[in-house]
């Protein structure tokens, strides 16, 4: 949510520059800004703790991101302790950077004003409906995230203050227009070229391959002609989902479960709350006096909503008459919630002091708690109980499967019998064609292990997930073999002919090159001419284009022989045409250069903060 605010806070160039910084800010989440904690510190940055739980939470998020990215292959990655430790270290360093930036902004007494915060919130896409700010959506999303609007505003202020600092630091980088113009001109430069193509395919008929050459190539490269080993498996799997049909639940048990857990079928009491907020500012006593004066006016009968519009320093709720939407009593330690739930419907509180300031609270609507009937939740309860019973049976059978697969390692029949299942099997496959039913990294690793392949034993019980276990054994195995010479002879001949044709093409191209360098005309050869060639040209072989932009103008007879995708080419530059109008590309070049230098500046800034800071890293 906050990341989107940040992305919209600057122009195009700033958006590109701040991406790296913003990712750093977003890591810890807005909850990390709230209050203190008694948890064990993982890292201490200038006396400020980053708790072990915060590090663990962010590491878990990063791990989840990797798992989404790599899918089933992530299990193999996760087994590399060095890699995962690197991920954890990266998370810790980003959290440290966030704290250092926050501390520096505080030391510099930077602060984002209320009006800027208000504009940011109004421009957040999350709070918009059909492109317009929607206060109800704003209130709903903030509340569903577990925060009051004034808390959210302060979190946003902290976050934007960090961004303010980084914008100032990174904004010190700049790219001169003449520098960008020079680079843009080079990128858009045009060249007229001429070149001779010598295609290897034209020499295939001249390339002769003897039987001895084929045999020698086969002997030297036999490893290229091996088949992949193939394997088929037998397997027994135990899944909670398969066991649901084998368990039953009595109706009386469903009734008993409903009565025993009645609280979870009750809706939570909700209250619609409005407030008038007076922030502490620099004079807390003055703020309290203003709150008490406002309370006198409320108690005298003045309209609460109108007073909120004119007096409340929570400008967003103030515009809505102080409305904060519906609230539930989820946090008994919150003095604001405690005060709100101590009031009757339509009642107004005395002045309430919270961490955000002084409040006058009013309850404008109340929804009492309700209880769902047994009929309404019967099917859900039954399904849940069936699943629980299936899991209990799963745990019992899991141990029996483990014991039997180990005790009777020469087959899976006994293992299948003890869990009342069947032995399944796969067709032959190699490592790149694993059937979906067994295509899990841990299963593939076990299938090709010495225990299964060589010793012909059952594998250990493999945990796919908490509700799915599997045991495999070899059914059939076809090892990798070297194909016979007869099987691959035509393939070798084609390879050797291609190599010889390429060599012949290169020899001919070198003859042409020598003639061209002497300024001689080459008879019966097509010289291809191209005008206005760009560096990005994709219609010409990339090797030709690359050579063209390395060479000087052709007056010096400076030509180059290059290997292309089809053979060889001799390249000459006949004209260099400077770009005449780079204005259209100038902004793109400036953005790219600025982004590059700014990322380096950000990294250097963080390193400078670390160098003069007291950072105590975790010891465990």
pLDDT in tens, 228-278: 899 999 999 999 999 999 999 999 999 999 999 998 898 888 899 999 999
Q: Average pLDDT of the chain?
A: 85
CA dist 16 and 24 (Å) reads 14
CA dist 31 and 29 (Å) reads 5
74 and 141 fall within a common domain: yes
Any domain includes 180? no
Per-residue pLDDT at 495 exceeds 70: yes
pTM listed for this prediction = 0.49
220 and 298 fall within a common domain: no
Q: pLDDT tier at 113 (50, 70, 90 boundaries)?
A: confident
Q: pLDDT tier at 172 (50, 70, 90 boundaries)?
A: low
Instruction: Provide the 3-class DSSP secondary structure of residue 198.
Output: strand
Q: What are 459's two structure tokens?
A: 């594998």
Beta bridge partners of 348: 362
Any domain includes 585? no
Q: What is the pLDDT of residue 331?
A: 62
What does the pLDDT average to over 99-122?
Answer: 85
Comparing C-alpha atoms, which of 603, 612, 619 is closest to residue 93?
A: 603
Query: Looking at residue 559, which CATH number applies to its domain?
Result: 3.10.50
More confident residue, 86 or 40: 86
Any domain includes 184? no
What does the pLDDT average to over 125-144?
Answer: 79
DSSP result, 68-81? HHHGGGHHHHHT-H
Q: What is the pLDDT of residue 619?
A: 56
60 and 38 fall within a common domain: yes
Paired sense of beta strands 348-354 and 357-367, if any: antiparallel
360 and 508 fall within a common domain: no
Q: What are 116's two structure tokens?
A: 């800027």
- Of 478, 494, 509, at which residue does a domain stop? 478
Any domain includes 543? yes
Q: pLDDT tier at 11 (50, 70, 90 boundaries)?
A: very low
Comparing C-alpha atoms, which of 385, 344, 350, 131 is closest to residue 258?
A: 385
Q: What is the pLDDT of residue 86?
A: 87
Query: Looking at residue 160, which CATH number applies to its domain?
Result: 1.10.4030
180-194, 217-231, 493-507 — most confident range: 493-507
Q: What is the pLDDT of residue 188?
A: 82
287 and 405 fall within a common domain: no
Any domain includes 538? yes
422 and 457 fall within a common domain: yes
Which whole-number Å values give the CA distances from 569 to 203, 280, 556, in the listed order?
15, 78, 19
What does the pLDDT average to over 266-295?
Answer: 91
Comparing C-alpha atoms, which of 18, 192, 13, 187 is closest to residue 584?
A: 187
Any domain includes 587? no
Q: What is the pLDDT of residue 16?
A: 38
276 and 417 fall within a common domain: no
Any domain includes 376? no
Q: What is the pLDDT of residue 136?
A: 74
Per-residue pLDDT at 118 exceeds 80: yes
Comparing C-alpha atoms, which of 33, 30, 52 is closest to residue 43?
A: 52
Q: What is the pLDDT of residue 10?
A: 37
Query: Looking at residue 325, which CATH number applies to its domain?
Result: 3.10.50.40
Q: pLDDT tier at 554 (50, 70, 90 boundaries)?
A: low
170 and 214 fall within a common domain: no
213 and 300 fall within a common domain: no
Sheet of 41-45: strands edge to edge? 48-51, 41-45, 615-616
Burial of 237 (0-12, 13-18, 19+ CB in 10 A): buried
- Of 339, 367, 395, at which residue does a domain stop? 367
Phi-psi region of 363 (alpha: psi -120 to 50; beta: other; left: phi over 0): beta
Which whole-number Å values give the CA distances from 435 to 23, 237, 466, in the listed order?
39, 15, 21
Q: pLDDT tier at 24 (50, 70, 90 boundaries)?
A: very low
Q: What are 372's two structure tokens?
A: 């769902």
Return the biggest CA–CA distance within the chain: 112
Q: pLDDT tier at 65 (50, 70, 90 boundaries)?
A: confident
Domain membership of residue 507 as a residue range? 190-225+485-577
Q: pLDDT tier at 332 (50, 70, 90 boundaries)?
A: low
- Of 422, 456, 478, at which residue does a domain stop? 478
Q: What is the pLDDT of residue 4?
A: 32
Any domain includes 584? no
Per-residue pLDDT at 19 exceeds 50: no
19 and 156 fall within a common domain: yes
pLDDT in tens, 25-45: 433 333 333 333 445 667 888
Per-residue pLDDT at 327 exceeds 90: no
324 and 198 fall within a common domain: no
pLDDT in tens, 377-423: 999 999 999 999 999 999 999 999 999 999 999 999 999 999 999 99
Q: What are 463's two structure tokens?
A: 């945990």
Proportion of the chain above pLDDT 90, given as a percent: 47
Question: Which letter, b or e, does each residue of 188-213 get, where b requires 16 or more Cβ atoms within 10 Å of its Cβ?
Answer: bebbbbbbbbbbbeebbeebebeeee
Q: What is the pLDDT of residue 174?
A: 67
pLDDT in tens, 426-453: 999 998 899 999 999 899 999 999 999 9
The single-letter DSSP state of residue 455 is S
519 and 560 fall within a common domain: yes
Domain count for the chain, please give it. Answer: 4
């Amino acid at each position: 949510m906050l990341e989107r605010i940040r992305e919209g806070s600057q122009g195009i160039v700033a958006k590109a520059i701040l991406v790296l910084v913003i990712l750093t800010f977003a890591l810890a989440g807005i909850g990390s800004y709230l209050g203190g904690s008694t948890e064990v510190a993982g890292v201490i940055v200038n006396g400020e703790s980053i708790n072990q739980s915060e590090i663990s939470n962010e590491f878990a998020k990063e791990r989840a991101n990797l798992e989404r990215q790599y899918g089933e292959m992530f299990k193999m990655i996760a087994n590399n302790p060095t890699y995962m430790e690197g991920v954890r270290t990266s998370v810790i360093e980003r959290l440290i950077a966030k704290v250092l930036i926050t501390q520096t902004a505080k030391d510099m007494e930077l602060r984002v004003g209320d009006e800027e915060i208000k504009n940011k919130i109004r421009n957040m896409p999350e709070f918009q409906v059909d492109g317009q700010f929607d206060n109800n959506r704003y209130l709903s999303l903030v509340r569903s995230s577990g925060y009051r609007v004034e808390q959210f505003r302060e979190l946003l202020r902290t976050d934007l203050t960090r961004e303010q600092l980084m914008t100032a630091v990174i904004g010190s980088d700049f790219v001169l227009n003449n520098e960008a113009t020079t680079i843009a001109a080079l990128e858009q430069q045009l060249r007229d070229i001429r070149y001779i193509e010598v295609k290897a395919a034209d020499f295939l008929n001249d390339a002769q391959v003897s039987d001895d050459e084929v045999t020698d190539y086969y002997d030297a490269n036999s490893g290229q002609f091996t088949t992949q080993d193939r394997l088929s498996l037998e397997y027994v799997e135990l899944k909670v989902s398969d066991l649901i049909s084998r368990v039953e639940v009595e109706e009386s048990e469903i009734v008993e479960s409903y009565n025993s857990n009645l609280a979870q079928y009750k809706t939570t009491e909700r209250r619609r709350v409005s407030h008038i907020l007076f922030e502490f500012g620099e004079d807390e006593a003055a703020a309290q006096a203003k709150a008490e004066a406002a309370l006198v006016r409320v108690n005298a009968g003045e309209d609460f909503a109108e007073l909120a519009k004119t007096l409340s320093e929570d400008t967003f709720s103030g515009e809505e008459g102080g409305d904060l939407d519906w609230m539930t009593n989820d946090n008994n330690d919150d003095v604001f919630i405690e005060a709100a739930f101590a009031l009757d419907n339509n009642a107004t509180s005395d002045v309430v002091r919270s961490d955000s300031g002084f409040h006058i609270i009013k309850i404008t609507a109340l929804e009492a708690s309700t209880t769902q009937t047994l009929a309404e939740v019967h099917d859900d309860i039954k399904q849940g109980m069936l699943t629980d019973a299936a899991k209990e049976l799963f745990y019992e059978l899991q141990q029996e499967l483990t014991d039997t697969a180990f005790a009777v390692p020469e087959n899976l029949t006994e293992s299948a019998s003890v869990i009342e299942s069947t032995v399944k099997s796969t067709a032959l496959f190699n490592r790149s064609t694993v059937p979906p039913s067994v295509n899990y990294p841990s299963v593939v690793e076990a299938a090709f292990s010495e225990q299964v392949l060589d010793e012909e034993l059952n594998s250990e019980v493999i945990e796919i997930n908490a509700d799915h276990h599997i045991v495999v054994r070899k059914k059939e195995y076809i090892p990798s073999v070297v194909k016979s010479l007869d099987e691959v002879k035509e393939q070798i001949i084609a390879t050797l002919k291609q190599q010889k044709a390429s060599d012949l093409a290169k020899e001919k191209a070198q003859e042409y090159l020598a003639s061209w360098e002497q300024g001689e005309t080459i008879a019966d050869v097509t010289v291809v001419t191209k005008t206005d060639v760009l560096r990005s040209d994709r219609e010409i072989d990339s090797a030709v284009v690359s050579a063209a932009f390395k060479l000087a103008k052709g007056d010096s007879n400076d030509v180059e022989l290059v290997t292309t995708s089809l053979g060889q080419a001799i390249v000459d530059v006949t004209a260099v045409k400077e770009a005449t109008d780079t204005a259209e590309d100038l902004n793109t070049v400036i953005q790219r250069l600025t982004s590059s230098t700014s990322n380096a500046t950000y990294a250097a800034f963080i390193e400078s903060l670390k160098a003069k800071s007291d950072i105590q890293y975790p010891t465990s």
